[in-house]
Structure 1
Amino acid sequence: MKLFIGFVTKEFYHIFRDKRSLFILFGMPIVQILLFGFAITNEINNVDIAILDHSKDATTKEIINKISTSKYFSIKQHIEREADIETVFKKGKVKAVLNFEKDFSKNLIKDYQATVQIISDATDPNTANTISNYVSSILQNYLQEQNKGIKINYVIISQPRMVYNPELKSVYMFVPGVMTIILMLVSAMMTSISITREKELGTMEILLVSPIKPFQVIIGKVFPYIFLSIINAIVIVLLSIFIFKMPVQGSLFLLGVESVLFIISALALGILISTISATQQTAMMISLMGLMLPVILLSGFIFPISSMPVPLQIISNVIPAKWFIIILKGIMLKGVGLQFIWKETLILFGMTFFFIVLSVKKYKIRLE
């Protein structure tokens, strides 16, 4: 046990002596979380929405049909009560609910105006704002068709309402994404480089013939990065709370457990990369191209997954970062518990188990 503790202590000393590693571990998280605190506008396609139709008359059905046939929206479900709106949002699939008032058609004919409430999930403020604008545009287009040849024009009033992020602060979207990138960077890339360095310098063989067992060597190499990744996660959450005034609505304990699960998943990926990399440069390139770019482009961090081509949507399902970002937004912004994110947690756990098993298998093969 003393040998193992000494080995872990050596790893910490090695990290703190390397200024480049220190910059990546502690400088990058702070710089990125500050730089990403601005908005990016994106188009939307095939966004899942729900309908709450109190009227259920010919006019509302016509409008709903017009919305469903557009390329921008896909009607996921119809709900019956306003109390169901929050439950629908917490499940994470639906991004907006269109609430048609009672006697919609009657009000439109009698009073020449009717109201549609557009309730959007503003955990992604750019998408929420875009959804509101697109729905309003479709309604205006419908009115133009109906008002042809009519002296007194009908008016449909749209009332946008943003939930979870009423001020549409873009930082609410970027904090979960940046946290995911940083944890992936520290856990996967740094771990793969650290283990590959030992092989490249020829010291891995020395470690393997030492009294320390092979699995202890790997645990000793990755333990410092677990510790440092947890510190980075805490720093990012504190920055988001005290600098950007971002609320954490859910359980901090659950947030911590989910973060540790994702860190272990990323560490397993780092070990897997190290088993197929002969040099540190190769490990870095595989980490950047194989992990970082998919995290940024295909995780839903910046670009809505529903707006991507179907092949990319399918590929995004095998990226752990996608599920972790859904979990983070659910806990931090919606205040959901495990009952709403159990599926994403189970998927992330399954991926973690798969990566660990594959990493151990590949690692043993390289030792033979």
Structure 2
Amino acid sequence: MKRFIGFIKKEFYHIFRDRRSLFILFGMPIAQILLFGFAITNEINNVDIAILNTSKDTTTEEIINRIAASKYFSIKQMVTREADIASVFEKGNVKAVLNFERNFSKNLIKENKATIQIITDATDPNTANTITNYVNAILQHYQKELNKDVHVAYQIIPQTRMVYNPELKSVYMFVPGVMTIILMLVSAMMTSISITREKELGTMEILLVSPLKPFQVIIGKVIPYIFLSIINAIVIVMLSIFILNMPIQGSLLLLGLESVLFIITSLALGILISTISATQQTAMMISLMGLMLPVILLSGFIFPISSMPMPLQILSNIIPAKWFIIILKAIMLKGVGLEFIWKETLILLGMTVFFIALSVKKYKIRLE
């Protein structure tokens, strides 16, 4: 045990005396969090929405049919009660709910106006704002057709309410994404480079024939990065709360445990990369091209996954960052508990076991 602890201390010394590694570990997370504060607008396609139609008349049915016929929206479910709207959003199945007032058609004819409430999930403010604009455009087009032969114009008045992010702050969108990128970068890339460095210098064989067992060598390499990644996660959360004024609605303990799970998943992926890389340069290229770009493009961080082509939607399911971003938004913005994110947690856990098992097999092949 003393040898193992000494080996871990040696790894910490290696990290702290390398200024470039220290900059990547601590400088870049702070810089990205503070500088990544711009809003990114995107088009939407096939966004899942729900409908609450207590009026159930010909006018509301016609509006619903027009919305369903557009390429922008897909009606996921029909809600029967207003009290069920919150649970629909908590499950994360839809991005918006359209709530038609009672006696919609009657009010439209009698009072020349009727109300549709557009309730959106504003954990992604750009998508929420785009959804609102698209629904308004469909309603205005319908209203023009309705008023074509009418002397007294009917009015359909949309009422918009943003849940989870009423002020549409872009920081609510990019903090979970940047946190995911940083933890993936530190955990996967730095781990793969660290282990590959030993192979490249020829010192890995020396370590493997030392009194330490092979699994102790790998664990000793990984532990410093677990510790440093946890510090990074804490720093990001603290900056988000005190500098960017982002509230954390859910349990900090659950957030911490899920972050540790994702860190371990990323570390396992980094170990796997090191098994197929002969040089540090190769490990870095695989990490950047094979991890960073998919995390940015296919995780739902910037671009809505539902608007991507179906092959990319299917491919996104193998990206660990996708599931972690869903977990982060659910805990930080919606304040939900484990009962709503257990599926995503199990997927990350399964990926971790798979990466570790594959890495062990690869190392056995190499040692034979």
Alignment match, 2:272: 272
Residue 145 of structure 1, CA deviation: 1.3
Alignment of 1:74-223 (within 5 A): 74-223=74-223
Paired residue type of 1:343: K
Alignment match, 1:305: 305
Kindly report structure 1 stretches of 4+ aligned residues shifted beyond 4 Å. Answer: none
Residue 203 of structure 1, CA deviation: 0.2
Per-residue displacement from partner, 1:80-116 (whole Å, max 9, x unpaired)? 1111111110111200000000000001111111000
Residue 313 of structure 1, CA deviation: 0.3
Paired residue type of 1:34: L
Local SS of the residue matching 2:82 = coil
Local SS of the residue matching 2:76 = strand
Paired residue type of 1:6: G
Alignment of 1:272-351 (within 5 A): 272-351=272-351
Alignment match, 1:357: 357
Local SS of the residue matching 1:120 = strand
Per-residue displacement from partner, 1:316-364 (whole Å, max 9, x unpaired)? 0110000000000000000000010011111111111111111111111
Alignment of 1:48-87 (within 5 A): 48-87=48-87
Unaligned runs of 5+ in 2: none
How far, CA to CA, are the matches of 1:142 and 1:263 in structure 2?
50
Residue 153 of structure 1, CA deviation: 1.2
Quick check: 1:263 aligned with 2:256?
no
Paired residue type of 2:341: I
Alignment match, 1:23: 23
Paired residue type of 1:128: A
Alignment match, 1:36: 36
How far, CA to CA, are the matches of 1:316 and 1:182 in structure 2?
19
How far, CA to CA, are the matches of 1:235 and 1:353 in structure 2?
28
Local SS of the residue matching 1:317 = helix
How far, CA to CA, are the matches of 1:205 and 1:222 in structure 2?
17
Local SS of the residue matching 1:166 = coil
How far, CA to CA, are the matches of 1:181 and 1:93 in structure 2?
24
Residue 146 of structure 1, CA deviation: 1.3
How far, CA to CA, are the matches of 2:275 and 2:188 in structure 1?
13
Residue 299 of structure 1, CA deviation: 0.1
Paired residue type of 1:264: I
Residue 38 of structure 1, CA deviation: 1.6
Local SS of the residue matching 1:68 = helix
How far, CA to CA, are the matches of 1:31 and 1:182 in structure 2?
11
How far, CA to CA, are the matches of 1:261 and 1:361 in structure 2?
22
Alignment match, 2:249: 249
Paired residue type of 1:93: N
RMSD: 0.6
Per-residue displacement from partner, 1:130-165 (whole Å, max 9, x unpaired)? 101100000001111111121111110001100000
Local SS of the residue matching 2:318 = coil
How far, CA to CA, are the matches of 2:332 and 2:361 in structure 1?
36
For normalisation by structure 2, the TM-score amounts to 0.99
Residue 64 of structure 1, CA deviation: 0.5
Local SS of the residue matching 1:160 = strand
Per-residue displacement from partner, 1:172-231 (whole Å, max 9, x unpaired)? 000000000000000000000000000000000000000000000000001000000000
Residue 367 of structure 1, CA deviation: 1.1
How far, CA to CA, are the matches of 1:88 and 1:142 in structure 2?
27
Local SS of the residue matching 1:119 = strand
How far, CA to CA, are the matches of 1:36 and 1:366 in structure 2?
41
Local SS of the residue matching 1:83 = helix
How far, CA to CA, are the matches of 1:62 and 1:350 in structure 2?
45
How far, CA to CA, are the matches of 1:63 and 1:35 in structure 2?
42
Alignment match, 1:8: 8
How far, CA to CA, are the matches of 1:320 and 1:78 in structure 2?
31
For normalisation by structure 1, the TM-score amounts to 0.99
Residue 21 of structure 1, CA deviation: 0.2
Paired residue type of 1:356: I
Residue 72 of structure 1, CA deviation: 0.4
Deviates more, 1:30-39 or 1:331-340: 30-39
Paired residue type of 2:357: V
